[in-house]
Chain A
Amino acid sequence: MRPLLSCFTLSARLVVGVFMSLLAGASVGVADDAPTRGTRFVIADEVGDWGIPSPYLHDRRGPGFILTSLVFDTLIWKDATGAFVPSLAETWTVDDTGATFTLHPKARWHDGVPVTADDVVFTVGMFREFPLASLDLSRIQSVRALDDHTVRFEMTQPFAPFLATIAGVMPIVGRHLHGAVETPMTLGLPQAAIGSGPFRLEHYDRVQGATLFRANHAYHRGRPTVEEIAFVRMTPPVAVAGVRKGTVDLATSVPVRDAESLAAAGVRLLVHDTGHPVRLKYNTRHPVLADGRVRRAFAHFIDRKRVIETVYLGWAVPWDPRGLAPLADPARDPYPFDPGAGQRLLEQAGWSRTPDGPWIRENEAVRLDLLAPRAQESLARLIGQQLGAQGLGVAVRLLDRGAFDEALRQGAYDLALTSHGLLGDPDVFRQGVLGTRPDSDRYTANPDLVAALEAQVTQTDPARRQALLARAGELYARDLPSYVLVSPRRAAVAPEPFFFTPGGVGPGVPSVLNKLAFLP
């Protein structure tokens, strides 16, 4: 009997020991006073923990930036129409050589120290010395404080995306806080989360995936309309149940199957396009796919309507193959589902096919690999099936994200399903075509396309820039290094006055969480 007892005793001690360590707790309280519960606005999120809301410490994905934006202001910000409005800067002017910002005279850091132009100068220097991959400051020639509240940016050349990719997304930090340490990545709480935004970080709990923000009553644009924001991890079914019971105010994403019943129950749903279209990327260095006619033929073989109905249950929109927006007019679709047109293009390219047999090129049946991340399995299998039905031998290979990115980087693929955001400044189009990211096209074969994409960067006249982008879009759709397929839609539960920011929040985050909804 004793061995049995000793075994139980040992197990019990193990359990009690571990629980005692949990009792101590592992969360980080930031402010001194305990949170009140009366005016708490609860946001449910499937992940919950997006890191400490601080420029170097938040998770690099979109929601991390959104939460950081509650604590740290940028110079300017986007409103419900997608237009830029004052944030830390009260006014600004942009010219061909740079931009000048005048800071709001009442702007203060959360510790009460005034925000000055010198803080902006320091911020740019800090991000240059300790770069963030999401912030490209290479076109800034210099930045200097003209006085305590005026700061001037000089550019190396006219830079059209400046407001959208720098002034509207770069969180301004305080020299007296971030300048006090050798490397800003090692700055701990509470200093790392002292910003000048409308909310202070009250409590960050990585373990529970929960972050609590408290209103900054001294905010220079007015006292926020809620006292506390609780950002809490919940699985989607639990979040939906919370919405129905009234314990959750905002759910960043609700499952498609629940959206209709929630709407019928009178819950306010914001349905929006994610702006992350999935694209069929061709390896244009592959001998088979180097011919544009072949790429265009494949596009005609894909039935996007069926893709949307089958894979996305109707919750997606077809994207315009010209680049930056959903397909507004189906009549202008350059690649409607038309197997006959595809066959003619392949025949023009010298391919041949016996009835119901495979396509033959240079006396060999064509066989191609379609790479996809595991998350895209359903789509990959359907695309493979649709191409296979037209006589193309397509083998689907699913990889985890690391292996997938590496295969793209090395060019070890024929076809691949990729996706990246196309919200934000239109310059994302150039990034996607000419950039060096694994999922970029890295397509430089058409000098006219390259020239149009490069020219739009320095074109500060909006109409002329738009014309250059339209020209690039036409060239892109004709060459078709990637065929942009569809963009999923998402539903969020959000009360008035929340809105979906056109072009996404900040750098293009597809979220209904715009801090302006918390301001008077």
Chain B
Amino acid sequence: MAAFNIWPLQGLWLPDNYSETGRTIDHLWTLLHTICAVIFLVTGIVLAWALWRAGTGLNKATYFTHNTRLEIIWSIIPGGILVFIAIYQMQSWNENKLLHPKELVNGVSVSRPPLVRVVARRFSWEFHYPGSDEKLETIDDLYFENEMVLPYGEDVVLQLESRDVIHSFFVPKLRVKQDIIPGHAQMIWFQATQEAEVALVCAELCGWGHYAMQGRIKFVSRAEFDSWLTKQMELKSLSQKGSAASKGGLVQTSLETVSINESGQ
């Protein structure tokens, strides 16, 4: 966000946003901090003025114990602001967490199925893509570690799971965060707006390597994504055949043969 660029605070505000749903969060963020800044300034000025006045040599303090009208005013106005905030944020919350993206299948609107199954474990991220059967959690799933490729310009749904302890899927530049509780599969969604590479970090303490549990997400166009995925499937079936010949039917998805770096561009 370029809005905050005063020395010495350059770059010390929200990072760039590459997500459609994140815009509402940024908007709320700016709005709330503006309100807070105003309230802070007003109370600060009142406090400073009261203190300064006291230093000018009063003989005796003014005796007053209460002022019902004043108290009603300063209960109702903040109350109104709080109610406004509570109502105003609903849309953003809806978009981010409540309204699962829909898609049309044969003319019927259904919940968009997850594109990738993200499995968190101490201290790495596993990304499982559906294989040729287009279903997750089957034996032909493609499997990558710490590096994920996703298409931009469309709603992407991810299914989050944890193998061991609680982790949290946090992508600052997408304004996406979701704790992953073992035993609960969580869905998150977002729509990236452009080609980008962003950091994925863990935001819930998961042990000594918590800080090192990071991944990269790369957004490419749908066409590129499709061709990348097809290529990965081919590579996998090749390696499977190869290993089937030599090792007697072992299923193996090796990261050396299907590395993201090789096939990205």
Do A and B make up one complex?
no
Which residues of B approach A to under 8 Å, CB–CB? none
Which residues from chain A sit less than 8 Å from chain B, CB to CB? none
